[in-house]
Chains A and B, each alone.
Chain A
Amino acid sequence: MTRRRAIAVISLVGIFLATYLTLYKLGYIEALACGTGSCEVVQASRWSTLFGQPVALWGLGFYLAMFAVSVAGSFGQLEGSRRVALALVVMSGGGVLFSGFLTFVEIAWLHAICRYCVVSACLVLVLFLISVLDLKRDERGS
């Protein structure tokens, strides 16, 4: 499987994770209960929304965009496109910065770590690394 297709598969996993967190935040999955774990603290904090929408929903949009671009770049004329590789690096790079900021907020300000957010941050980091490798391959190829 090509790197770009690996990005598509990982993005799809991210889509389901972000969908779960969005449904949780919107109250469709179990009303919020507070445990000795810290996901509820993070989900109930003001950092769990951005521009009036759940952060998880923005994450869902990010994963959908990564999935769409990587799938489109896996077939036909776009398969070897450098623009697609560049777009994936830029998008996932933005994702890494945003996830990094949210992880900082969790550790430094909320003093709480949500395991789902950690999984998502790892997925974004892996997406970024594969995207960089994909771009380098294109550079070597061109």
Chain B
Amino acid sequence: MAKKTVQKAKASNAQFVGIIVAVAIVGVAALGYVLTHNGPKVIIVDPKIPAGAAEGHLMGKADAPVQVLEFGDFECPGCGNFATLTEPDVRARLINTGVVGFRFFDFPLVQHKNSFTAHLAAACAEDQGKFWDMHDRIYAGQDEWSDLVRPGFSDPLSVFKRYANELGMDVKTWESCVTSQKYTARIKGNQAEGARRNVSQTPTIVIGNKQVNVVTYDQFKKLVDDVLAEAANAKSGSAGKPAAGKKGAGQ
């Protein structure tokens, strides 16, 4: 009887240890998978989708060999990271060298309460040729005005006004543009363009036919190189095509 009880206890212990080991293996495997598959998630998009009526804010050449679109939200921490950590390298090495034309499309998310004001502030800065200065200042100062960092903070305009002053802008004209919401339609147009492309999170960056979210400079550069390589292949392919076409026509 006692022997049976001991055997039963042993079997129960073995079952318990087995379950613990199984859960641990699954958990470690899941975490391992997530940690090792940590690259950008790439979505293939149709490159033929026209830009539509939306106007992004262009940096670099409109006819650069690679056109990149960013759908960004000024209050999004991920966009802030991209703007402050990755974008400086992108500008110095790819945009300023004429390889990339970079277009920023407003994509303010509804849950970010102060974001729309930030987009208006940046759009109005463009009137004075300072969109990118304001873009950089707003991202660099996220901690000062973001509702995510300062819950309940509802006066981002006072912060942006200081930025406008620091950037040497005509603050009165700029403020009148912001408070009259002059560029609301343009921001919504950019946002609609994102929605049309199934953008659901920010930052979303479109490079050629690839749509990614969070990228390091090296990942960004690789995607740009892929587009350049594809273009070179297409060029060499089309160079041989007329002959093939003639052959086909003759048959």
Task: Give A residues with C-beta under 8 Å from B.
Answer: 1, 5, 8-9, 12-13, 15-16, 19-20, 23, 28-38, 40-41, 44-46, 71, 74-75, 109-112
Contact = CB atoms under 8 A, between A and B. Distances in A.
29 contacts: A1-B12, A1-B15, A1-B16, A5-B16, A8-B16, A9-B23, A12-B20, A12-B23, A19-B27, A23-B34, A31-B81, A31-B214, A32-B77, A32-B78, A32-B81, A32-B214, A33-B76, A34-B79, A34-B112, A35-B202, A36-B200, A40-B76, A40-B77, A40-B78, A44-B77, A44-B149, A45-B151, A46-B149, A46-B151
B111 interface: yes
B211 interface: no
Interface in B26-42: 27-28, 30-31, 34-35, 38
Contacts of A20: 30-31, 34
A75 B20 CA distance: 14
Most chain B Cβ neighbours within 10 Å, of A19, A31, A41, A46: A31
B109 A23 contact: no
Contacts of A40: 76-78
B148 interface: yes
A47 to B, nearest CB: 8
Interface string B1-35: 00000000000110110011001100110110011
Top 4 nearest A-B pairs by Cβ distance? Answer: A35-B201, A16-B27, A34-B76, A33-B78
B109 A34 contact: yes
A29 B38 contact: yes
Chain B contact residues, majority secondary structure: helix
Contacts of B78: 31-34, 40
Nearest to B12: A1
Contact of B73 (A1, A15, A31, A34): A34
Contact of B20 (A9, A16, A33, A36): A9
A28 B151 contact: no
A110 B151 contact: yes
A1 B81 CA distance: 48
Nearest to A71: B20
Contacts of A12: 20, 23-24, 27
Contacts of A36: 109, 200-201
Contact of B148 (A31, A35, A41, A74): A41
Given A23-B35, A34-B78, 13 more contacts: A9-B20, A12-B23, A20-B30, A20-B31, A31-B78, A32-B77, A33-B78, A33-B214, A34-B109, A36-B109, A36-B201, A37-B201, A75-B13
A31 to B, nearest CB: 4
Interface string B89-132: 00000000000000000000101100000000000000000000
B189 interface: no
Contacts of A33: 76, 78, 201-203, 213-214
B20 A8 contact: yes
Contacts of A37: 201
Contacts of A16: 27-28, 30-31
A13 B31 CA distance: 12
A48 to B, nearest CB: 10
B35, B78, B148, B201: which has the most chain A beta carbons within 10 Å? B148
Nearest to A110: B151
Contacts of B109: 34, 36
